[in-house]
Amino acid sequence: MRLSESPRRSWARRTTFAVVPIALVLALAPTSSVGVAPAPTTTSYATDQSARPQIRNSGQAYLDAKLPVGKRVEDLLGRMTLEEKVGQMTQAERGAAANDPLLVTTWRLGSVLSGGGSVPTPNTPQAWADMVDGFQAQALQTRLQIPIVYGVDSVHGHGNLLGATVFPHNIGLGSTGDPKLVERIEHVVAEETRATGPQWAFAPCICVARDTRWGRTYESFSESPELVTRFASAIEGFQGKHTKDLKAADRVLASAKHYAGDGDTEFGSAAGDYTIDQGVTVTNRRDFARFDLAPYVDAVQRYDTGTVMPSFSSIDWTEDGIGNPIKMHANRELITDVLKGKLGFDGFVISDWEGIHQLPGDYANQVRTGVNAGTDMFMEPFSYQAFETTLLAEVRAGRVSQARIDDAVRRILTKKFELGLFEKPYTDRTHLAQVGSPQHRALAREAVAKSQVLLKNAGGLLPLKKNAKVYVAGRNADDIGNQAGGWTLSWQGASGQHRIPGNTILDGIRQVAPGAQVTYSKDGSAPTTGSDVAVVVVGETPYSEGFGDVGGPSWGFDPEDGGVLREPKSLDLQPGDKAVVDKVCGAIAKCAVLVVSGRPQVIPAEQLGKIDALVASWLPGSQGEGVADVLFGKRPFTGKLSHSWPRSADQEPINIGDRNYDPLYPFGWGLRTHGH
């Protein structure tokens, strides 16, 4: 989003997928008058049985799979025109190119992506694979037949796809304390993603969230840089252990994000309506290296992440005085000197969504600054034509060097060769039937159970007896949309009982304890007489990014919202949640409260006294039965807090190691039970 725009006004940039008007295409189409080669005509190539063009290998070295990747890259680079190179640096949104079969070919695009909610019709695994292959067929009609790489936000599963396995968000995975489990999870995510076409996941997020008022806190494994660094193993889950693994049908290119410091921004420093997201990290270089940069060292040097995505946030170094922040997308020191130089990153840097649009100056200055800072590919979803035209002009004017262009394209081509796209450009559908399979959902269920953190358990209330008379209440007990959170079917996610396939927590209770007598009342209005124990499930409703900032703007633009703005974001429980806890826990002698949320929620002392058992359930995703597993002792509670749980919102930011550290429940807290 542009700095001059309120996030409220520019939300459509991330979620609207209207086709670019023909007039705009014609206005920006390559012509020699602006120094761009005329649009290429479609070249005729041999086709397969599906009438898709095949790569014609007539002896070109870059198509010789027996040669080292480096030699193939240099051969191809030497054959490319400047226009073809700039095309490789450009990524467009599928909605801007879906209705015109010539756009990918004409603009020689290097990549296409699906933003949140940008999906084919119908939204099925087969349709996804067909869609991606359709774009690939367009790419293979270009002169050099360079395949595209397709990217998608598989941040807790292939969340855009209806029917994919939806895992807990990172805040819950961090509470498992089990990097090997997360590696297994991301392998499944990679399998479901690549089987449906995309070869690239914009994940994992290895940010260190230092203030839970941030709307992206749930994307962070932990407030502890040491713990986040351990979970950089997620990259290995996506990509495999060795470079050769990238060619496999169950692996994708990873993207470590958001480089760097996005979880450490100061409250009140953000632009527009946001309060903390995309704000300013005020720090010195020593602390930055210790807190914000640390996970990227392992991401690059140990796990060899294929791509890195810069943050929307800014850095303001205290060494030279406060007040002159630098946007990360403009930060040559951190992108080129530190990431590519000191850390030795040899993949490519992909901008965030219109990331350069937030830089100072006109569009030409934004493009020039972004490229010269070291970004290699640019996520320009609906302005990709203008980007190409502008960058070509900047190179020809000498303001961007040919060497910088060659470096960017060399990095991009290297990953395309390593992915095996020149040998197998179309989707390998071997694992298509595994999308949302029972085996994958069983892994998600295991992750859910291990992510649950038992904060309080007075009198050993949990685990419950499987024949108990259980009164279930609260708006998050039977709402799979709420328990999945943001980045699920759409950018912001949405509430809904059966929004995606899977089980709500209530479903899970009924499955795990079929002998229990279950009464369900969302608002606690049903009679409580005769109940042994209450399970009240409260917490947050879905949000993403700055729309989740405490004190930030409200969202209400999904069709499912009906134009109604969503509730204000707060660290305190919403009034309705407080009321149902008071009502039910006041009426039933034994009461367990489950908090389904993307961050800790403040429980006042007077209310905590009425609660016998308190559980941080985080955002468990599609398999609510994993929550029931620990409630009824099928599995033990083993989770530990990955983020400190504050006594009050006024304590934020609060993190382990702070002076006068006094949370309600400290980092690493978690009571244990014994499973059956």
- Catalytic residue set: 352, 545
Q: How far apart are CA 47 and CA 491, in angstroms?
A: 37
Give me the amino acid identity at 259.
Y
**Category of 240 on φ-ψ map: left (φ > 0), alpha (ψ -120 to 50) or beta:** left
Helix-strand-coil split of the chain, %, nearest 5: 40, 15, 50
Of the candidates 261, 259, 277, 260, the residue with the CA atom closest to the CA atom of residue 269: 277
Of the candidates 38, 60, 12, 207, the residue with the CA atom closest to the CA atom of residue 106: 38
* DSSP symbols for 53-121: B----SS-GGG-TTS-HHHHHHHHHHH--HHHHHHHTEEEEGGGTTT-TTHHHHTT-SEEEE-TT---S
Q: How far apart are CA 270 and CA 309, in angstroms?
A: 19
Bridge partner residues of 92 (DSSP): 112
Q: 490: which DSSP letter?
A: B
CB 83 within 8 A of CB 38: no
**CB within 8 Å of 632: residues ≥ 6 apart:** 463, 464, 465, 466, 509, 512, 513, 516
Phi, psi of 442 (to 5 degrees): -65, -40
Phi, psi of 209 (to 5 degrees): -80, 110
Phi, psi of 561 (to 5 degrees): -80, -20
Bridge partner residues of 623 (DSSP): 503
Of the candidates 93, 47, 90, 148, the residue with the CA atom closest to the CA atom of residue 422: 148
Q: How far apart are CA 211 and CA 228, in angstroms?
A: 15
Q: How far apart are CA 292 and CA 304, in angstroms?
A: 18
Q: How far apart are CA 233 and CA 299, in angstroms?
A: 8
CB 178 within 8 A of CB 222: no
**Cα-Cα end-to-end distance for the chain:** 51
Q: How far apart are CA 625 and CA 5, in angstroms?
A: 43
Q: 399: which DSSP letter?
A: S
Pairing of strands 613-616, 453-457: antiparallel
Distances (CA, A) of 259 to 52, 205, 327, 670: 38, 9, 11, 30
Q: How far apart are CA 130 and CA 197, in angstroms?
A: 8
* DSSP symbols for 606-637: HHHTT-SEEEE----TTBTHHHHHHHTTSS--
